[in-house]
Structure 1
Amino acid sequence: MNCPWCGADFEMMIDPGEGSHESVHDCYWCCAPIVVNVVLSEIDGTPEVRLSREDGSDE
């Protein structure tokens, strides 16, 4: 995954047991807030992850 603020590459663990959810995490490199939106597939439970800035833009 890449930070939508600075573009830094990072890894994040997603726990499917949490279900679909949204959370905010600070970028390890630039400390900007990243909104993490996780949606689990209704078919097989595969998580789809979308990162965005707190202002709602993707980049």
Structure 2
Amino acid sequence: MRLIDSARIHCPYCDVSLNINVDPSEPEQDYTEDCQVCCRPMVLSVQFDDRHHPRVYARRESDIFSPGD
């Protein structure tokens, strides 16, 4: 298994295609990372399939957390 893997995503704010690095040591991960272009916070959900290929879903932070939570 590699120490770092990469994945291609689209920023949910500016829709730019980005390459990000993901850590394959955890099979499921959720974390926040700023877009490299517009600097807005993206919530990334990472899951690795049976062949250790990453599946990354990027969402707006406002889609996850709403006021009053």
TM-score bucket (shorter structure): 0.7 to 0.9
Q: How far apart in 2 are the matches of 1:51 and 1:37?
A: 7
- SS of match in other structure, 1:10: strand
Structure number having the greater strand percentage: 2
Asked whether 1:23 is paired with 2:31, we answer yes
Report the TM-score, using the length of structure 2 for normalisation. 0.68
Report the TM-score, using the length of structure 1 for normalisation. 0.77
Equivalent position of 1:44 in the other structure:
51
Q: State the Cα distance separating 1:18 from its structure 2 match.
A: 2.4
Asked whether 1:11 is paired with 2:19, we answer yes
Quick one: which amino acid aligns to residue 8 of structure 1? V
Q: Which runs of 5+ in 1 are unaligned?
A: none
Number of residue pairs the alignment of both structures matches = 56
Percent identical across equivalent pairs?
A: 30
